[in-house]
């Protein structure tokens, strides 16, 4: 349960973590107590001025807000796509997701680039461009050959973009790992199965598939939401090596 | 702080209980939590407790003392005591009024 403390902003943890950890060790929280901790973490993100004077007036740069918007939009579109995919597949019809898929990748690329500090944006941009080119090459290959280059590149592109964007949120390292690990780790076996044409043969109900595929979109919504709320930008002093890094807005 | 604790929104009621808990001496988080639960009869979540402590500390109603081991005690300030007294006197007046009206209605 103490992992939930990782949801709090770095400077908040620097001030209260030791005593809160001690309290939770003495009195492990019930389910309601855990939900109360999550609500408390959200409250701490929404009210940075309680810990850092003047923090409420800090606003993330236009670039980061754009990244947050792109992340939220990409997450919403992903959720819509996956819902449609599972429903259409389960009803035996076919659908073309090419355009929507590229829009999702584009939105998530914008999010990752916007969330990358300016001094590292060029390197990240080149990496994304190379992955995109390789992915494009993979797309034009015959269907039988697609899984070879497309699957690992899908993993690199989708996992990499989420990881890059999540690093900018100012969440603790443990919370970042949880967001990326769950958001990326759960859906992609399903994505690979779908790509290999195995989806109709999987002994899973559409509801199970949908919930597995949804988590990636939900991870993007969380990351985008935190960026729009100010993320690491309202917290000027990194409280720990895992704390947020302030970059001039 | 003459407006009382109302500006603390959903943290106003927990803050009143926490101030009442600290009125008889400094306490750390766990002691406050158990004391508030015995006063109010309601569980106090850890997130709510620390949300209220942060707000009260910022407003000067309580102050943190040096930690003992990992436990940091909190103490009510003069402003906190005044605020608590004002709140409790308001509640006492309200209580008297309500009880008087109930007695009048039952005659």
Per residue, what are the HEC states of chain A? CHHHHHHCCHHHHHHHHHHHHHHHHHCCCCHHHHHHHHHHHHHHHHCHHHCCCCHHHCCCCHHHHHHHHHHHHHHHHHHHHHHHHHHHHHCCCCCCCHHHHHHHHHHHHHHHHHHCCHHHHHHHHHHHHHHHHHHHHHHHCCHHHCHHHHHHHHHHHHHHHHHHHHCCCCCCHHHHHHHHHHHHHCCHHHHHHHHCCCHHHCCCCHHHHHHHHHHHHHHHHHHHHHHHHCHHHHCCCCCCCCCCCCCCC
* Cα–Cα dist A218/A200, whole Å: 24
Give how far A217 is from chain B: nearest CA, Å. 27
Subunit contact A16:B33, Cβ cutoff 8 A: no
- Coil vs helix vs strand at B75: strand
pTM: 0.64
- The residues of B whose Cβ lies within 8 A of any Cβ of A are 28-30, 33-34, 43, 45-51, 53-55, 58, 67, 69-72
Helix, strand or coil, per DSSP, at residue B76: strand
A65, two tokens: 């807000």
| Residue A239 confidence class, pLDDT cut points 50, 70, 90 | very low
pLDDT in tens, B21-57: 999 999 999 999 999 999 999 899 999 999 999 999 9
Helix axes A10-26, B46-58, angle to 10 degrees: 130
- State whether B45 and A37 contact (CB < 8 Å): yes
Report the alpha-carbon distance of residue A64 to residue A11 in Å, rounded.
20
* B43 vs A contacts (CB less than 8 Å): 30, 32-33
Region of poorest pLDDT, from A58-67, A85-94, A102-111, B15-24: A85-94
Closest CA to B70 of B24, B37, B33, B29: B29
Q: Does A43 touch chain B (CB under 8 A)?
A: yes
> pLDDT digits over A92-126, tens only?
555 566 778 788 888 998 999 888 887 777 888 88
Would you call A96 an interface residue with chain B, using a CB distance cutoff of 8 Å? Answer: no
Mean pLDDT of A22-46: 90
Written as six digits, the tokens of A80 are 């819509």
Dihedral pair phi/psi, residue A39, rounded to 5°: -65, -40
Tens digit of each residue's pLDDT (9 = 90 or more) over A4-19: 888 888 888 889 999 9
- Residue A149: the pLDDT is 60
What does each C-alpha distance from A13 to A26, A98, A187, B62 come to in angstroms? 18, 44, 31, 19
Which helix (H) or strand (E) segment holds residue B82: the answer is helix B78-106
**CB-nearest partner of B48 from A16, A22, A36:** A36
- Other CB atoms closer than 10 Å to residue A99's CB: what's the count? 8
ipTM of the shown complex: 0.87
A24 vs B46: CB contact, 8 Å cut-off? Answer: yes
Give the SS3 label for residue B19: helix
Identify all chain B residues contacting A32, using CB atoms and an 8 Å cutoff. 43, 45
Q: What's the confidence (pLDDT) of residue B77? A: 96
Q: With CB atoms and an 8 Å threshold, state whether A36 touches B45.
A: yes
Go through the domains of chain B in sequence order and give each one's CATH number: 6-106 (1.10.10.10)
Do A37 and B70 lie within an 8 Å CB cutoff?
A: no
**In sequence order, which residues have a C-beta less than 8 Å from that of residue B17 and are 6 or more positions away?**
B36, B39, B40, B44
Contact A37 B46 (CB under 8 A): yes
Rounded to the nearest angstrom, the minimum Cα separation between B89 and chain A is: 28
More confident residue, B2 or A227: A227
Instruction: Report yes or no: B19 and B61 within 8 Å, Cβ to Cβ.
Output: yes
């Amino acid at each position: 349960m103490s992992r939930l403390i990782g949801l709090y902003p770095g400077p908040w943890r620097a001030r209260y973590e030791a005593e809160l950890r001690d309290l939770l060790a003495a009195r492990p929280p019930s389910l309601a107590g855990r939900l109360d901790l999550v609500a408390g973490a959200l409250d701490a993100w929404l009210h940075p001025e309680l810990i850092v004077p003047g923090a409420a007036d800090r606003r993330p740069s236009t670039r980061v807000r754009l990244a947050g918007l792109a992340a939220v939009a990409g997450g919403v579109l992903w959720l819509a796509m996956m819902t449609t995919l599972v429903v259409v597949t389960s009803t035996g019809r076919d659908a073309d997701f090419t355009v929507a898929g590229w829009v999702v990748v584009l939105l998530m690329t914008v999010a990752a680039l916007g969330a990358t500090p300016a001094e590292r944006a060029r390197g990240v941009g080149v990496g994304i461009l190379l992955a995109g080119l390789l992915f494009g090459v993979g797309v034009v290959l015959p269907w039988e050959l697609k899984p070879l280059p497309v699957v690992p590149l899908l993993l690199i592109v989708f996992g990499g973009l989420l990881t890059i964007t999540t690093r900018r949120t100012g969440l603790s390292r443990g919370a970042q790992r949880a967001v990326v690990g769950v958001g990326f780790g759960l859906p992609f076996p399903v994505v690979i199965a779908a790509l290999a044409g195995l989806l109709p043969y999987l002994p899973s109900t559409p509801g199970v598939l949908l919930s597995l595929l949804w988590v990636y979109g939900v991870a993007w919504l969380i990351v985008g939401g935190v960026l729009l709320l100010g993320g690491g930008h309202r917290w000027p002093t990194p409280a720990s090596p895992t704390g947020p890094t302030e970059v001039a807005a | 702080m003459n407006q009382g604790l109302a500006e603390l929104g959903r943290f106003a009621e927990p803050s009143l209980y926490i101030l009442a808990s600290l009125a008889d001496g400094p306490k750390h988080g766990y002691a406050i939590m158990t004391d508030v639960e015995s006063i109010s009869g309601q569980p106090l979540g850890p997130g709510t407790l620390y949300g209220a402590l942060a707000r009260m500390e910022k407003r000067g109603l309580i102050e943190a003392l040096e930690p003992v081991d990992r436990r940091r005690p909190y103490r009510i300030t003069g402003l906190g005591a005044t605020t608590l007294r004002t709140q409790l006197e308001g509640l006492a007046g309200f209580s008297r009024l309500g009880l008087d009206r109930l007695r009048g209605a039952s005659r």
